Amino acid sequence: MQNAIYRAGLRANPVDVTLIRERYLDVERTVACTVADQDGRIVGFQSLKRAWPGNPYGVPSGWGIIGTHIHPGVGRSGVGRRLFAISLSAAKAAGLRHVDASIGADNVGALAYYSAMGFIPYGEKDGVIPHRFDL
């Protein structure tokens, strides 16, 4: 699914299983990782982690870091909204007070999605616009 996003020009690089495990399934920091499927096919997933000191996004320790990945063929179908409802519940249960989504300034779809979920921008650096959701 991630490589379908890459092939559609919506991701800079292809991924492999090792990268997915390292980046999204790190059990030490994971709050939730939710997969969406349609007819047995993975069409999206959302990862929510607790920020750690020195994380690559510059997110304050203790905040949440969220990433949403939706197959290009199912965009705007409600998959992202359903994933966020689960992640929001997990964030509350984990006691997170803020969640960051660091979004490429040229990623129009992600900017619209996170805005629709209630995230607000709180800066910009190196072509990335960090957004935050306050719980």
Rounded Cα distance between 130 and 119, Å, is 9
Convert the pLDDT of each residue in 67-106 to its tens digit.
Answer: 999 988 877 788 999 999 999 999 999 999 999 999 999 8
Rounded Cα distance between 48 and 67, Å, is 7
Highest mean pLDDT range out of 19-23, 76-80, 113-117? 113-117
Determine the pLDDT at residue 34.
95
For 17, counting Cβ atoms within 10 Å of its Cβ (0-12 exposed, 13-18 middle, 19+ buried), the class is exposed
C-alpha atoms less than 13 angstroms from C-alpha of 114 in its C-beta half-sphere: 27
Q: Which two tokens stand for residue 134?
A: 């306050």
The yes-or-no verdict on residue 60 having pLDDT over 90 is: yes
The yes-or-no verdict on residue 27 having pLDDT over 80 is: no
Determine the pLDDT at residue 26.
72
Residue boundaries of the structural domains of the chain:
2-134
Would you say domain 2-134 falls under CATH 3.40.190.10? no
Q: What is the DSSP letter of 72?
A: G
- Contact, 3 vs 20, CB < 8 A? no
Q: First CA to last CA across the chain, in angstroms?
A: 30
Convert the pLDDT of each residue in 3-13 to its tens digit.
Answer: 888 888 777 88
Highest mean pLDDT range out of 1-5, 12-16, 131-135? 131-135
